[in-house]
Amino acid sequence: MVGDDKIKVLILFLTYGNRYPCSLKKFLQICTRIGLEKRLIIIKNDREEMETRQVESWVFEMGGDNSVFEFSGWQKAIDSEIAHSFAPDVYLIANDSFLKMGPANSFYTLPIFDDEIIRMVYKNKLLGGHKMAYPLGELSPFIHTHFFLLSAEIVERLGSIVTERSSERFTKSIPPAHLFDAFQKNEILTKRLKKYLYYNLTQRRYGEKASLQGYEDFRRKVLCIINEMSLSARVRKIGYRIVDLTPFHSLFNLFYILPIPFRPVVPFQFMRKIIFSIFYLLFYSPCAKKIGLEKWFTELCLVNVKRRLRREISKR
């Protein structure tokens, strides 16, 4: 195990075209928090044949691998010569979708980390990232992979962060009349997981109605979510711990404080947008940046993440 000041961080940031044009700029700003030795590889998954090139002393660009979307792109970078020559101790992995929920959500979804958090991940051999908050304070058992930190030992033990390379095992190659019948009648997925995937991809705000035109996109999303869930399950199975790095969850439970008769009148998503908008104006607006509120709030988030992380580590 290396000393605290000799920990090396390999940052993998994956993009696909110009879907989220502000993401890379914002992520580079976030990376300035890292005082440890670092190397950044920007993976362009829409340009698979692109040759690797050095942009700055610590920044490289390379073509990705979109066969399993972000997971195969990240794995290509992990296997690359520029990654092996760096010999990282910790991986910081993200994709350009980490800003997709908009700036008003940023206090909840943006990566919150610093050197101390990276050291804790390394020393305790952790996988850390954002967990979704469910009603009554329960957290999802898996990490959402728009951003996550994990020790290099975990990556080595896994062999690959790609779990499933094809959706054929889970969905039929020919679209059925009803999209829920897209799942083959087998025991690979539980009934509960099938329902989660179906409603997550067709009924919620990111969902699309079942259609012949959207079926391939549905299959793609199923494969992405299964790889996302499987990563946490595999890490847990080989004996490593998974920790939540989200600064605040309690704001999302405000909805459940409302009396039941009022809940349909005040939809959860609507209430969440109001809360996010208030926080954006208070801490992330241009005026807030000028007077230093954004920096203050980021420090508050870091304190909260570290407190939770220490509590998780002490449960050993």
Per-residue pLDDT tens over the stretch 255-293: 545 555 555 555 656 666 676 677 777 777 778 788 888
Q: Tens digits of per-residue pLDDT, 166-187? A: 888 888 777 777 777 777 766 6
The pLDDT of residue 97 is above 80: yes
176 near 211, Cβ under 8 Å? no
In this predicted structure, what is the pLDDT of residue 288?
Answer: 79
- Quick one: pLDDT band at residue 191, thresholds 50, 70, 90? confident
3-state DSSP assignment of residue 80 = coil
Q: Tens digits of per-residue pLDDT, 127-140? A: 999 887 665 557 78
In this predicted structure, what is the pLDDT of residue 136?
Answer: 54
What percentage of the chain carries pLDDT values higher than 90? 42
**CB atoms closer than 10 angstroms to residue 97:** 19
Residues 6 or more apart from 262 whose CB is under 8 A from it? Answer: none
- For the chain, give the mean pLDDT: 83
Pairing of strands 8-15, 90-95: parallel
Report the range out of 20-24, 117-121, 291-295, 300-304 with the highest average pLDDT.
117-121
Report residue 162 CA to chain centroid gap: 15
In this predicted structure, what is the pLDDT of residue 104?
Answer: 47
Report residue 80 CA to chain centroid gap: 22
Taking the C-alpha atoms of residue 187 and residue 170, their distance in angstroms, rounded to an integer, is 10
What percentage of the chain carries pLDDT values higher than 70? 79
Taking the C-alpha atoms of residue 270 and residue 117, their distance in angstroms, rounded to an integer, is 33
| Residue whose structure tokens are 């005026």 | 287
Taking the C-alpha atoms of residue 125 and residue 247, their distance in angstroms, rounded to an integer, is 20
In this predicted structure, what is the pLDDT of residue 278?
Answer: 74
Residues 6 or more apart from 177 whose CB is under 8 A from it? Answer: none
In this predicted structure, what is the pLDDT of residue 162?
Answer: 96
The pLDDT of residue 21 is above 90: no
User: Which amino acid, 22?
Assistant: C
Residue 243, phi then psi, degrees to nearest 5: -125, 155
The pLDDT of residue 155 is above 70: yes
Given phi > 0 = left and psi -120 to 50 = alpha, else beta, which region is 292? left
